[in-house]
Amino acid sequence: MVGVRIESFPTGPLACNCSIVMDEESKQAVVIDPGGDFPLIQEKLRLLGAEVCNIVHTHTHIDHVGATAPLQESSGAPARIHEEDRFLYEMLPVQAAMLGMPQPPTCEIHGDLFDEQAVNVGGLEVGVLHTPGHTPGSVSFVIDTPNGKVLFAGDTLFRRSIGRTDLWGGDHPLILRSISERLLTLDGDTRVITGHGPETTVGEEIAQNPFVGGR
Ligand SMILES: [Zn+2]
Ligand SMILES: [Zn+2]
């Protein structure tokens, strides 16, 4: 198993957690949810010596795609979402107006993430799980590291909470099903990096997340 370096840090006005996942040997990296603060992302990449070969998104709310276009332009890497979220990319002006945020620059987006896919990043495989509910095209990413599995849950699962479902295409029963059937079935010691706020583990959320049966 290849060594993996993970850097997660909040970006943009809504503090979306952006993650850089790098194969330590080849230095090839995927950026998950470049939500904003492009100069900060650039600096982290430079310090790691990372070469971005994929840009992927857990979903397509404006706070998760704010720095996608400049990152795509500077790296030449494809920017990818699940096709069922494409309508959200096309309505970024509406999202910006609703949140009173400036509209971010846009770029070509590939709607080619799909369930059970493995996205290759150097010697690393990033697994894709379609976990709809927060948005129709919400996905979670899973990687195997020498220290166990790591899940990037986007706004589907938070520490002791879950994603809102009152926005475009949100579906509360569906997010509950995605979480219980696709995420909480992972190993209990799986580290969970969430879309906003602190990280957690699958086991902790099974025991303590009040939205999915914990206390
Ligand atoms: Zn969201
Ligand atoms: Zn978010």
Residue 131 CA to ligand 1 center (angstroms) comes to: 13
- Closest ligand relative to 63 C-alpha: 2
> For residues 105 and 215, what is the distance between their CA atoms, to the nearest angstrom?
42
- Closest ligand relative to 85 C-alpha: 1
Residue 61 CA to ligand 1 center (angstroms) comes to: 5
Residue 90 CA to ligand 1 center (angstroms) comes to: 15
- Closest ligand relative to 169 C-alpha: 1
Number of structural domains the chain divides into? 1
Residue 26 CA to ligand 1 center (angstroms) comes to: 32
Range of the structural domain that residue 174 is part of:
4-212
Residue 199 CA to ligand 1 center (angstroms) comes to: 16
Closest CA relative to residue 168, chosen from 59, 67, 80, 58: 59
| Structural tokens at position 155 | 């706004």
CB under 8 Å, gap of 24 or more: what pairs does 4-10 form?
4/124, 4/143, 4/145, 4/146, 4/150, 5/48, 6/145, 6/150, 6/193, 7/44, 7/48, 8/193, 8/199, 9/40, 9/44, 10/196
Query: Helices 38-48 & 68-75, crossing angle to 10 degrees?
Result: 40
CATH of the domain at 164: 3.60.15.10
> pLDDT tens track of the chain, all 215 residues?
789 999 999 999 999 999 999 999 999 999 999 999 999 999 999 999 999 999 999 999 999 999 999 999 999 999 999 999 999 999 999 999 998 989 999 999 999 999 999 999 999 999 999 999 999 999 999 999 999 999 999 999 999 999 999 999 999 999 999 999 999 999 999 999 999 999 999 999 999 999 987 65
